[in-house]
Amino acid sequence: MAGPDDPPALALENIGRRFGDTAALSGVSLALDAGEVVCLVGRSGCGKSSLLRLIAGVDQPDEGRILLNGAEVAGPGRFVEPEERNVGFMFQDYALFPHLTVEANIGFGLKALPRADARARVAEVIERVGIGALAGRFPHTLSGGEQQRVALARALAPRPVVLLMDEPFSNLDRGLREALRVETLAHLRALGTTAIMVTHDPEEALSAGDRVALMRKGRIVQAGTGYDIYDRPVSLYAAEFLSPGSRVEGLCRQGRIETPLGTYPAPAGSREGDRVVLFIRPQALSFAPQGEGVEARIVNRAFMGEREQFTLAVNGVAETLKLYASDRPHGAIGDWVHIIVNPGATLIFPHADTKCDS
């Protein structure tokens, strides 16, 4: 792995990019150590793909610097063309050249090598990714999963400084997607490849990377390990992006937060009279025996196999609450039940946060 004095494999410093009047990216900073895999996650249009294009060099930033292994490849007065950066790029549509065989596609980026070396490298990559049977075929004869593997092999063949993956699994069926994600990450780990993966799926982001960077409107709003950002989202937006849940309004009084669901210890820095929003994830709720917790009415129950989702209404709470149960409790739609909230699993945000929820 990288030594303490090595520069990061990739460093983004205060990147800005405008398209006409709209800022696609602003103030984006991020550093990846060698061998690190970072997931960029966010809604469509948040700027994650634009960021990849800047790193690859197929677009130029208006502000900020990009460094690969400590060398500046984009910055004020300096721009290194994409073909000279040695950055791997994997596309959502795989972008396999239809007029070339699988073998020729994988060898496409090895033009600088002597022919024999290039051929040996192609064979090596094909072997590693396990697509030996496809070598002589043309892309249109391959299945989606096979195309994905070829695209990975092609991007890895030139030993890129960093591998960029733009929604690499989104064109695959659900089951195949997970299998290929595990397989791809195993290859990256084995080769020690530094990689950025763009996705819009929070589950994929949390599970795939060493770190997750959550983007919104052209900015990175939070970066950290999956646990970090899931357990301590910096904003209501981050919390709602990463998991389902409900908002419950509360008021700060005498050092405690009062809500229709009960009272909670106020977070540090709260002042008397502050309005706050509690974000309650389904797993923070559970059914309680008669007489405990608060009363709730069952609005809907949906059986989903391994678990069952209850939608509940509580007097004084505007939004309905969701609760997951796996033990098939009794209770029909319209029945009144009792629920309790696990205080440690709720997140508290200032009320102002609710306004910016796009």
Q: Which residues bind another protein (CB under 8 A)?
A: 1-2, 9, 34-35, 53, 56-58, 68-69, 71, 73, 78-89, 91-93, 95, 97-99, 108-109, 111-112, 154-155, 158-161, 164, 190-194
Q: How far is the CB of 80 from another protein (least distance, A)?
A: 5
Nearer to another protein, 1 or 268 (CB): 1
Nearer CB in complex with another protein: 80/135: 80
For another protein, the closer of residues 40 and 164 by Cβ is: 164
Kindly state the smallest distance separating residue 212's Cβ from another protein, in Å.
21
**Minimal distance in Å, beta carbon 176 to another protein?**
21
By the 8 A CB rule, do 292 and 275 touch?
no
Minimum CB distance to another protein, residue 170 (Å): 14
Nearer to another protein, 159 or 301 (CB): 159
Q: How far is the CB of 51 from another protein (least distance, A)?
A: 14
Nearer to another protein, 58 or 333 (CB): 58
Nearer to another protein, 52 or 180 (CB): 52
CB of 102 to another protein, least distance (A): 14
Q: Report the C-alpha gap between 178 and 172 in whole angstroms.
A: 9
